[in-house]
């Protein structure tokens, strides 16, 4: 049973490697967007400090300086297993406890307008990865959500707080399950949050997470809410990185 998967009584056979020459930094920022990755490389003087290789490709890890802070940056993969595995790999190369992560999500409440960021307070664990890092429960607390919310409020950035639904099955977000999650108070659906919080809790790391409103599921038919070639308000909006790096600088 998946609810029996958490084992804190024996050692894992495979563990992240321990390196003596890790690069010390203040915080690490994680994105999903290739366009944002290109934006960062063009805007900042970035030093590549690692290349994490796997069968699907290479993930470069960069260091940049911002307002006297040394900040790591990398682009992760979609989905809980991939994003958690990549985080574990990255911690082999950098020495920090703080991770800022942001990305797109589906919106479960049509009253939420474009231009607001969503700050998850709890995540529904409808994925498998988190059950290997935390005891089985329906929800996991996103424990630094208040810090993220305070930052948004101080900077005058429109935001809303609420629960999120982390799923493994993009094409199985059914009407009945959407209704259940909305009844729980979920305002968004994505594929990484609960697992990323679980691995950070397990490894003693601090996660600071916010979401952007992408497609709309609270409608008679799916609304992608994206016009070809227009990226404002989407997960490719470079202004979201500007928010993330300011959040990183404030920590």
CATH number at residue 68: 3.40.50.1580
Is there a domain that residue 38 lies in?
Answer: yes
Full residue range of the structural domain in which residue 45 is found: 21-250
User: How far apart (Å, rounded) are the C-alpha atoms in residues 102 and 119?
Assistant: 10
Is there a domain that residue 2 lies in?
Answer: no
Is there a domain that residue 182 lies in?
Answer: yes
Is there a domain that residue 109 lies in?
Answer: yes
Number of domains observed in the structure of the chain = 1
Is there a domain that residue 3 lies in?
Answer: no
Nearest to 191 by CA among 159, 215, 218: 215
pLDDT tens-digit series, residues 60-98:
999 999 999 999 999 999 999 999 999 999 999 999 999
User: How far apart (Å, rounded) are the C-alpha atoms in residues 105 and 111?
Assistant: 15
DSSP 112: P
SS3 27: strand
For helices 238-250 and 145-155, give the axis angle rounded to 10 degrees.
110
Is there a domain that residue 113 lies in?
Answer: yes
pLDDT tens-digit profile, the chain (251 residues): 677 889 999 999 999 988 889 999 999 999 999 999 999 999 999 999 999 998 888 999 999 999 999 999 999 999 999 999 999 999 999 999 999 999 989 888 877 756 688 999 999 999 999 999 999 999 999 999 999 999 999 999 889 999 999 999 999 999 999 999 999 999 999 999 999 999 999 999 999 999 987 543 333 333 344 434 434 445 657 888 999 999 999 99
Does residue 162 contact residue 190 with C-beta atoms inside 8 Å? no
pTM of the model: 0.90
* Kind and range of the H or E run holding 165: strand 159-167
Is there a domain that residue 192 lies in?
Answer: yes
- Which residues on adjacent β-strands are paired with residue 144? none
pLDDT tens-digit series, residues 156-190:
988 999 999 999 999 999 999 999 999 999 999 99
Is there a domain that residue 9 lies in?
Answer: no
């Amino acid at each position: 049973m998946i609810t029996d998967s958490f084992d804190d009584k024996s050692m894992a056979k495979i563990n992240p490697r321990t390196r003596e020459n890790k690069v010390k930094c203040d915080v690490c920022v994680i994105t999903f967007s290739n366009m944002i990755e290109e934006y960062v490389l063009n805007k900042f003087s970035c030093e590549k400090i690692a290349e994490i290789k796997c069968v699907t490709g290479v993930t470069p890890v960069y260091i940049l300086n911002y307002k006297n802070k040394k900040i790591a940056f990398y682009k992760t993969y979609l989905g809980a297993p991939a994003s958690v595995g990549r985080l574990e790999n990255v911690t082999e190369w950098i020495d920090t406890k703080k991770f800022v992560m942001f990305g797109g999500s589906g919106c479960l409440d049509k009253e939420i307008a474009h231009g607001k960021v969503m700050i998850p307070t709890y995540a529904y664990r409808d994925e498998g990865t988190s059950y290997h890092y935390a005891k089985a429960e329906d929800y996991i607390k996103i424990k630094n959500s208040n810090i993220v919310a305070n930052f948004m409020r101080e900077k005058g950035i429109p935001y809303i707080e609420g629960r999120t639904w982390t799923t493994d099955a993009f094409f199985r977000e059914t009407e009945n399950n959407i209704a259940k999650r909305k009844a729980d108070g979920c305002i968004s659906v994505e594929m990484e949050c609960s697992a990323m919080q679980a691995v950070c809790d397990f490894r003693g790391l601090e996660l600071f997470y916010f979401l952007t409103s992408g497609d709309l599921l609270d409608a008679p038919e799916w609304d992608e809410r994206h016009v070809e070639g227009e990226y404002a308000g989407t997960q490719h909006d470079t202004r979201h990185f500007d928010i993330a790096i300011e959040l990183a600088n404030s920590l």
